[in-house]
Amino acid sequence: MAGASLMLCIELGIELGIELGIELGIELGIELGIELGLRLPGSAYLANA
C-alpha cells in the first residue's frame, strides 16, 4: 500500500510542478517582455507609429 501512495504523491508532485512552472513561466515572460519592450530604443518608435 505504501508503494501506491508514493506513486500517487509523485504523480501529484509532477503535475503541480508542471502547472506551476507553466504559470510562472508565462508571468515571468510577460513581465520580462514588457520590461525589455520599455527599455529597447526601437520600442519608442514602434509605440508612436
* Amino acid 26: pLDDT: 96
* pLDDT (tens digit per residue) in 1-49: 678 899 999 999 999 999 999 999 999 999 998 888 888 776 566 666 5
**pTM for the whole structure:** 0.57
* Amino acid 9: pLDDT: 93
Q: In total, how many domains does the chain have?
A: 1
Q: What range does the domain containing 35 cover?
A: 2-48
Residue 40 Ramachandran class (φ > 0 left, ψ -120 to 50 alpha, else beta)? beta
Q: Which residues contact 43 (CB under 8 A, 6 or more apart)?
A: 37
* Amino acid 36: pLDDT: 85
Three-state secondary structure call for residue 46:
helix
